[in-house]
Amino acid sequence: MRRTRAAAAAVTVSLLATAATACGGGSADSAGGSDTAPKELTYWASNQGPDITADQATLAPELKKFEQRTGIKVKLEVVPWSDLLNRILAATASGQGPDVLNIGNTWSSSLQATGALLPWNAKNFQAIGGRERFVESAIGSAGAAGKDPAAVPLYSMSYALYYNKKMFREAGIEKPPATWDEMVTVGQRLSKDGKWALGAEGSNLSNDIHQVFVLSKQHGAAFFDAAGKPTFDTPANVEAVKQYVDLMAKDKIIAPGNAEYDKNQSLQDFANGKTAMVLWQSAASSFKAHGMKEGDWGVAPVPVPAGGAPGTGKNTNSMVAGINMAVFKNTDNMDGALKFVKFMTSDEEQTLLNKTYGSVPPVKTAQADPAFATEDLTVLRNTLATSAAPLPQVPEESQFETAVGTAVKELFADAAAGRPVTTDSVKAKLTKAQQQMSN
């Protein structure tokens, strides 16, 4: 397990104060860890399956396999997404945390700035088989440009539009919507008799950010300028956020109750036939866990503006999604941590785990397995290759998720309560979020 170090980076307080429940500084010790506890590791895994119990069942035999091969016992904790970022930030501040952990790839630059994570330089990459094994776009979402990555890609994903084939047939709809105009038209045909067209996780800050980031790109906007300064409340960003919330407030194709969703409830609604569509990353395994069978759902690219087709710029239709694996710099089992990352990114484990979770391996050779040629994963792979863009790789990214994500959450709450969502109210929320970034 990691030892506590007294060294503190003062920058952590200002950088992460709005995102962490406890903030006082992360380890800035550049000397690295040690190997004083060579027989054990602690590992915080993210919740990739339908629930924590399913993740434990998936990972336990693999960790046992690693122990049999190396003699190193891995103590596993699967941390819910609602807790993971704050748990990590508290660990960087206190010096008490795991040896190895999963992080959302969008957090890489923020966590990199704390100085608490092991930089993946040429030597460390060589210890796990070399940087060239990984898809370069996945490496690009592992830290700030010009710096050694703060983590290694583990699972790659993008967003897709999943639709319930039975509900589409019953409504006489032949194909999924390819543009947002079509989404509204189709959605209003589907939203009746207690059923709704589109599911959303209105209280899930990360999910909200992912959706409005894409819409911002489609409006030709950005949440940060070239110098890395926040530009949250520009007219185009206001339009983008309003467009998303209006799917509930004006277009009436998202159920008001979805404003409170933050634990994947929209996936269960989809599986139970209450909702006809969801915008999600790698959802197939969750649908199966909720009782759906292959063929019950279809997969299509996320809609783009009228007249467009998925691509770059205003035709971006996903963020580059994924999970990275990081090592705390002051681990007391550095050799074991590197061995564990090498094991988890081996072709064998990449094929098994990404197949289980319905994600795409960021390791090139593992992608050749036929398991990744399904309809679902073909859409995800094509999106990652042609029409996905990384979220801003700036040190303040986690603050951005908290500030703007909270703004979107509050706007959904207004919509659900019947309060008006106007251009002025959206701008006010985004201006407040931007002001929080400078405090």
Q: How far is CA 296 from the centre of its chain?
A: 25
Question: Each residue's pLDDT tens digit in the chain (439 positions)?
Answer: 433 332 333 333 333 433 333 222 333 343 467 888 899 999 999 999 888 999 999 999 999 999 999 999 999 999 998 899 899 999 999 989 999 999 999 899 999 999 999 999 999 999 999 999 998 888 988 998 899 999 999 999 999 999 999 999 999 999 999 999 999 999 999 999 999 999 999 999 999 999 999 999 999 999 999 999 999 999 999 999 999 999 999 999 999 999 999 989 999 999 999 999 999 998 988 899 999 999 999 999 999 999 999 999 999 999 999 999 999 999 999 999 999 999 999 999 999 999 999 899 999 999 989 999 988 899 999 999 899 999 998 889 889 999 999 999 999 999 999 999 999 999 999 999 999 997 6
Write down the CATH number for the domain with range 40-157+320-389. 3.40.190.10
Structural fold of domain 160-319+392-437: D-Maltodextrin-Binding Protein; domain 2 (3.40.190)
| Domain residue spans of the chain | 40-157+320-389, 160-319+392-437
125 close to 341: Cβ distance less than 8 angstroms = no
Q: What is the pLDDT of residue 31?
A: 45
Q: Please tell me if the domain spanning 40-157+320-389 has the same topology as the one spanning 160-319+392-437.
A: yes
Q: In what order do the strands lie in the sheet with 152-157?
A: 73-79, 40-46, 100-104, 321-327, 152-157
pLDDT of residue 37: 83
Amino acid identity for residue 294 in this structure: E
Residue 73: enclosing H or E segment and its boundaries?
A: strand 73-79
Q: What is the pLDDT of residue 32?
A: 62
Question: d(Cα 155, Cα 46) in Å, to the nearest integer?
Answer: 11
CA–CA dist 114, 101 (Å, integer):
15
Residue 72's SS3 state is coil
* Predicted pLDDT at 439: 66
Q: Which residues contact 200 (CB under 8 A, 6 or more apart)?
A: 207, 211, 247, 248, 254, 258, 261, 266, 279, 412
Q: What is the pTM of this model?
A: 0.81
Query: Given this model, what pLDDT does residue 7 score?
Result: 31
> Where does residue 405 rank: exposed (0-12), middle (13-18), buried (19+ CB within 10 A)?
buried
The runs of H, that is alpha helices, within 158-282 are 165-170, 180-190, 205-218, 235-249, 265-271
Rounded to 5°, the CA angle 411-209-277 comes to 80
Lookup: tokens for 393? 């790789």
